[in-house]
């Protein structure tokens, strides 16, 4: 049956099918093109961008140097202002040093006194040695006196015994007998006195020897600079000298002065914080990556960074230094309490420390707290 003899309904159906086929082919072609484009985009992303992890939650940081007063006193002069650049060793603050100078003079006087005492102790050795020699001579003299008194005693005793035997027969008078007896008593007393003098001389020698030994113990094996008293006095002088030097407070590092809170005439205590010095040539970036971005991030990998300050025209180059010991939430002042019935999982962020190139920082200075965008090249060598 030819198309001319078909019913009207069949003719209409064939016309609809004929008009639908080109549209279907057109849509299939469009879908195929979209699929190819997506495949190309995926391949391009995988090849050129798939090896990069990036975040814009990154901020410039620095190990700032806090300038504190090591001595108390009144501020005599402040040499810097906020935002001023300083070099290490530049004078920042001067404290009135008159009290420190007096303390140093007192310590120096005490040191001189102790050194003089050492010299006196050393000189005492000669005096005590002379005393020992003198007591030796006194002992020899007392020994001679004892021998003389002993001889006198023996003679007096012999005379008394002879007169005692004569007195019994009446050959001598009673008066002569009494005189002989008194002479014996005197000789005994003189002998006892001589022995006591010898004992005293020996005792004096022992005392002198003891004093000499004690004096030697103070200086034996030492000289004027190494005796304990001199060392202690010297330490006080050194401390006083250090306190005097600390009245001039200097910059510990190169950097920029910030948060200055000291004024002329202000009385500061030991440990008072005066200002901060930010080492702008040693800045770093803490990039807070999501935890699901860190699987392939390793220390040593290259990082490119841009800042909101300079825009995309200035690119910094750095390296991953390491990872923080915990997430920001873990070290928050009030940590999150997840053991609750209405807990909702939140992706955490872990700070990653990135070191910056000092030469690039010198050309394009940054400041602490500025926002950065960091991109880690996962294919770079770690």
pTM to 2 decimals?
A: 0.63
Residue pointed to by tokens 């495949």: 39
What does the domain layout of the chain look like in residue ranges?
65-93+249-278, 100-241
Name the token pair of 258: 């910030």
- Split at pLDDT 50, 70, 90, the class of 223 is low
Q: How far apart (Å, rounded) are the C-alpha atoms in residues 85 and 255?
A: 6
Residues 165-185 pLDDT 10s: 776 666 677 777 788 778 878
Please name every residue paired with 353 in a beta bridge, in sequence order, or none if there are none. Answer: 286, 322
- Are the C-beta atoms of residues 323 and 293 closer than 8 Å to each other? no
Q: Are 273 and 97 in contact (CB under 8 A)?
A: no
CATH no., domain 65-93+249-278: 2.40.50.100
**100-241 CATH choice from 1.10.287.620, 1.10.10.10, 1.10.645.10, 3.40.630.30:** 1.10.287.620
**Weakest-pLDDT range from 187-196, 305-314, 372-381:** 187-196
DSSP-derived 3-state class of residue 178: helix
Rounded CA-CA distance 160/68 in Å is: 98
195 burial via Cβ count (<10 Å: 0-12, 13-18, 19+): middle
Are both 65-93+249-278 and 100-241 of the same fold? no
Which single residue is written with the structure tokens 């006591």? 196
What is the spatial distance between Cα 336 and Cα 329, in angstroms, rounded to a whole number? Answer: 7
Distance CA 213, CA 210 (A): 5
Helices (H), the chain: 8-44, 98-169, 174-219, 228-245, 358-363
> For residue range 83-127, what is the model confidence (pLDDT) as tens digits?
999 999 999 999 999 999 999 999 999 999 988 877 776 666 666
234-283 tens-digit pLDDT: 999 999 999 999 999 999 999 999 999 999 999 999 999 999 999 988 99
């Amino acid at each position: 049956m030819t198309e001319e003899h078909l019913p009207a309904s069949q003719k209409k159906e064939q016309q609809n099918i004929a008009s639908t086929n080109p549209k279907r082919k057109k849509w299939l072609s469009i879908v195929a093109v979209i699929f190819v484009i997506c495949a190309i985009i995926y391949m391009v992303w995988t090849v050129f961008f798939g090896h990069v992890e990036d975040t814009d939650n990154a901020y410039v940081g620095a190990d700032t140097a806090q300038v504190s007063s090591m001595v108390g006193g009144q501020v005599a002069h402040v040499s810097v202002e906020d935002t001023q650049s300083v070099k290490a060793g530049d004078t920042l603050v001067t404290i009135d040093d008159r009290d420190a100078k007096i303390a140093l003079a007192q310590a120096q006087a005490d040191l001189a006194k102790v050194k003089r005492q050492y010299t006196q102790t050393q000189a005492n050795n000669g005096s005590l040695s002379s005393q020992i020699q003198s007591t030796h001579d006194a002992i020899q003299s007392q020994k001679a006196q004892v021998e003389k008194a002993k001889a006198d005693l023996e003679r007096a005793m012999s005379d008394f015994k002879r007169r005692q035997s004569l007195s019994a027969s009446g050959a001598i008078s009673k008066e002569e007998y009494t005189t002989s007896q008194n002479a014996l008593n005197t000789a005994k007393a003189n002998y006892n006195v001589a022995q006591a003098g010898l004992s005293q001389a020996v005792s004096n020698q022992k005392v002198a020897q003891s004093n000499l030994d004690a004096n030697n113990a103070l200086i034996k094996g030492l000289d004027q600079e190494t005796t304990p008293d001199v060392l202690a006095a010297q330490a006080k002088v050194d401390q006083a000298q250090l306190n005097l030097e600390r009245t001039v407070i200097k910059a510990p590092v190169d950097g920029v002065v910030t948060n200055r809170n000291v004024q002329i005439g202000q009385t500061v205590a030991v440990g008072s914080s005066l200002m901060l010095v930010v080492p702008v040539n040693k800045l770093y970036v803490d990039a807070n990556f999501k935890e699901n971005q860190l699987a392939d991030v390793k220390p040593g990998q290259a990082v490119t960074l841009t800042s909101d300050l300079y825009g995309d025209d200035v690119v910094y180059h750095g390296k991953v230094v390491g990872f923080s010991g915990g997430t920001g939430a873990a070290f928050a002042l009030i940590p999150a309490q997840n053991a609750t019935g209405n807990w909702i999982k939140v992706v955490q962020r872990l700070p990653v420390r990135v070191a910056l190139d000092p030469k690039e920082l010198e050309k394009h200075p940054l400041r602490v707290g500025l926002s950065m965008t960091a991109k880690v090249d996962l294919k770079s060598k770690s």
